[in-house]
Amino acid sequence: MELNRNPILYYGIKWSREFYEKKLNNPAYLDLDKYFPEHTKLAERWEEIRDEALDVMNHFHVPEFHDVDKGQGFISNNDGRKWQICVLKLYDAWVEPNIDKCPKIYELLKDMPHVTTINLSYLEPGKHIPEHRGPYKGIYRYQLPLTVPKNGKCRIYVNGEPHYWKEGQGVLFDDTFPHEVKNESDEYRLALLLDVKRQDMPANLRWLDKMMYQIIKTGIYMNGAVKKAQIAA
């Protein structure tokens, strides 16, 4: 559980979520066309994105999530199965060695400044990401499935509601709701994961949200996550 994090960080995250939840009211799953209309540009070229993601997977060493952020060990290093991520952008910082290997994805996303984080996610057969909650309600999470297992079950639950991925068809949700992933198959699941900055933040929260974003961003940089995220041959 999240208590394996630094206690100050854990309770700071808990307080932040509770504060936002008193001010904001949105469902777990969200309308893509309303909250992230640019998704159509990605869906139209999902096969190109898939091909670059597969090339990275086949030719480079991609770190596991807890290698980039050790605080994620409780969901990444939990069952002997790998959850690897190729980070292209992390809270506005481009990971240069990684984007050099994904030029088409970079071209598609470089002019979307409210996309704050970009990951290629590789979920090993049998991997279970246990139920958890994202730390920050100032973003929405977008997933574009690139390869989905054909045999067995592979899905995400958000606030208890299952969603079964279909290749090339994205989904948008608020990751501060409890969510978990189960890949009950013998195949990899690949997906493009984006953090999309909320554009519907009420005026009375914007200054606080800007401060919260900068605090998280500074913590990520100080932890050296951008360097840890670099993939190698």
CATH number at residue 156: 2.60.120.330
CB distance 142 to 11 below 8 Å: no
22 in a domain, yes or no?
Answer: no
The span from the CA of 123 to the CA of 114, in Å, is: 26
Residue 230 clears pLDDT 90, i.e. is over it: yes
4 in a domain, yes or no?
Answer: no
CB distance 200 to 146 below 8 Å: no
11 in a domain, yes or no?
Answer: no
19 in a domain, yes or no?
Answer: no
Q: Which residue has the higher pLDDT, 78 or 6?
A: 78
Q: Which residue has the higher pLDDT, 110 or 219?
A: 110
Residue 206 clears pLDDT 60, i.e. is over it: yes
Structure tokens that stand for 36 in this block? 């992230």
Structural domain of 37: 28-228
- Please tell me the predicted confidence (pLDDT) of residue 135: 86
Q: Which of 79, 70, 178, 65 is nearest to 128 (CA)?
A: 79
CA torsion sign for 201, 205, 210, 213 is: negative
Work out the pLDDT band at 49, boundaries 50, 70, 90: very high
CB distance 228 to 68 below 8 Å: yes
Per the DSSP assignment, residues forming a β-bridge with 121 are 85, 191
- Please tell me the predicted confidence (pLDDT) of residue 1: 43
130 in a domain, yes or no?
Answer: yes
Work out the pLDDT band at 29, boundaries 50, 70, 90: very high
By three-state DSSP, how is residue 129 classified? strand
- Please tell me the predicted confidence (pLDDT) of residue 6: 60
125 in a domain, yes or no?
Answer: yes
Domain count, the chain: 1
Cβ partners under 8 Å of residue 138, min gap 6: 20, 197, 198, 201, 209, 212, 213
Work out the pLDDT band at 5, boundaries 50, 70, 90: low
- Please tell me the predicted confidence (pLDDT) of residue 213: 92
Candidate from 39-43, 105-109, 210-214 with smallest mean pLDDT? 210-214
14 in a domain, yes or no?
Answer: no
23 in a domain, yes or no?
Answer: no
Work out the pLDDT band at 195, boundaries 50, 70, 90: very high
Please give the average per-residue pLDDT across 58-71, as a whole number: 94
The span from the CA of 232 to the CA of 62, in Å, is: 7
Buried/exposed code over 39-77 (b: 16+ C-beta within 10 A; e: otherwise): beebeeebeebbebbbebbeeeebbbbbbbbebbebbbb
